[in-house]
A and B are shown apart, each in its own frame.
Chain A
């Protein structure tokens, strides 16, 4: 199924699962006048119910395991999950730490990985564009 319905209208919900705020600040930087993702119709929303993209940062601590799964279930279909930052991708320096339940793709299906510690806003925007293409082509898991 090919559609252009998600073309330039992606609403992103940002979930911090124990991140150090490095990635989160880079995500906010993407909203600033210099990068301005609103040009492409992207918007950060306050509730997962409004979201098309679930953007996860952080290595998923034990406390956040249940919340991550619930927020994933709360996001209406069709949706894509995007993990931003090394921690969310692999666990990074927290790998095999006793208090981690993650990385995120052990708990929920992840569609787009954006590595970097933290990734630059360009990388975050590129990741969102990939997510949008997945939604358009209906290739999401």
Chain B
């Protein structure tokens, strides 16, 4: 047990650093690919690393009207909680570092905290633009929460029905038992709809176009982040980057948990390496569809359209998916 504890403790900084590196790399790829889609050359992939390094050198201004202790503490909270979520997620067939200490429900709640930190930071910075941005961030947050919850609960339901007695909300268990194998044709369709919902929720969670109403540089001058500079801004930037990895990994754990090593017949260290590469490929595909492509393809929605898109369409699609899955379950009982 002590050995396990030591190993887990040793894994924490590795996962944290890997998360931050991957997040920044994703940011770089995001900027390059969006530039290419707009027929520009775009910055090098290492651009986010340069940006963060520069931001850390800049002056850190706390406005006179701001509530200093909140203003300065929320970037730390946002970054640390985002990294903390990584510890609850299963990677490449391994159990989460904090397996048994928290499950999918906890992860969904933890996902709220970086957004809440942004909201608090916005309200505490004493700027009108930031207040407007913070209100928009809150509204966005409330809008995407329901479809996200429906998708997660449906997966847990399928898994608990297929494997009685299993801890269905445990992300380790979810990743070990792919939901696709446990349902019939109707359920497959339902799962596909839920995957679609999750991918639609991703840009809202990440605050990228078309759901970047809270930051909206061209209307409210950077919104929630308007007063942030230097070190604090860098921390929010990092938190955002890591959040993309977190969300990508959640989608992978829920919907695409397969490894490649088993089907290729590789064993030992090579299997871990193959799975790791396969995981990176999956992560890239999920982030590409859920964030990069959608950002380049669609212009910003208005806040009313964001609410309509999530409370209306995304909720409808997710409930339809849940309905199909229930029909599938019923048809098996009969």
**Residues of chain A whose beta carbon lies under 8 Å from any beta carbon of chain B:** 5-9, 11, 32-33, 36, 38-41, 45-47, 49-50, 52, 74, 76-78
Given A7-B50, A49-B226 in contact, is the A38-B39 Cβ separation under 8 Å? no
Given A46-B221, A49-B227, A74-B61 in contact, is the A9-B40 Cβ separation under 8 Å? no
B132 CB to closest chain A CB (Å) equals 13
Which among B43, B44, B222 is the interface contact of A46 at CB below 8 angstroms? B222
Question: Would you list which residues of chain B between 169 and 224 have a CB under 8 Å from chain A?
Answer: 215, 217-218, 220-222
Query: Considering the complex of A and B, which 5 residue pairs feature the smallest CB-CB distances, nearest first?
Result: A46-B217, A76-B59, A47-B222, A46-B222, A49-B229
Given A41-B47, A52-B54 in contact, is the A36-B41 Cβ separation under 8 Å? yes
Query: Contact: B58 with A52, CB < 8 Å?
Result: yes
Q: How large is the interface on B (under 10, 10 to 19, 20 to 34, 35 or more residues)?
A: 20 to 34
Given A38-B40, A49-B233 in contact, is the A76-B60 Cβ separation under 8 Å? yes
Which among A5, A11, A39, A47 is the interface contact of B53 at CB below 8 angstroms? A5
Q: A33 vs B51: C-alpha distance in the bound complex, in angstroms? A: 22
Give me 29 A-to-B residue pairs in the complex whose CB atoms sit less than 8 angstroms apart, sorted by A's number.
A5-B53, A5-B54, A5-B57, A7-B50, A9-B51, A9-B53, A11-B51, A36-B35, A38-B31, A38-B40, A38-B41, A39-B41, A41-B43, A41-B44, A41-B50, A45-B222, A46-B218, A47-B129, A47-B221, A47-B222, A49-B229, A49-B233, A50-B222, A50-B229, A76-B59, A76-B60, A76-B230, A77-B59, A78-B59
Query: Contact: B43 with A39, CB < 8 Å?
Result: yes
A15 CB to closest chain B CB (Å) equals 12
Q: Counting CB contacts under 8 A, is B228 at the interface?
A: yes
Given A5-B53, A9-B54 in contact, is the A33-B43 Cβ separation under 8 Å? no
A77 nearest in chain B by CB position: B59
Which among B31, B35, B43, B233 is the interface contact of A50 at CB below 8 angstroms? B233
Q: A137 vs B47: C-alpha distance in the bound complex, in angstroms? A: 21
Question: Would you list which residues of chain B between 210 and 256 have a CB under 8 Å from chain A?
Answer: 215, 217-218, 220-222, 225-230, 233
Q: Counting CB contacts under 8 A, is B304 at the interface?
A: no
Given A33-B39, A76-B61 in contact, is the A9-B47 Cβ separation under 8 Å? yes
Contacts of A41 in B (CB 8 A): 43-44, 47, 50-51
Q: Counting CB contacts under 8 A, is B259 at the interface?
A: no
Query: Contact: A76 with B54, CB < 8 Å?
Result: no
Contact string against A for B residues 37-75, beta-carbon threshold 8 Å, 1 for contact and 0 otherwise: 011111110010011011001111100000000000000
Query: Contact: B50 with A9, CB < 8 Å?
Result: yes
Q: A52 vs B230: C-alpha distance in the bound complex, in angstroms? A: 10
A6 nearest in chain B by CB position: B54
Contacts of A32 in B (CB 8 A): 40
Q: A41 vs B230: C-alpha distance in the bound complex, in angstroms? A: 17
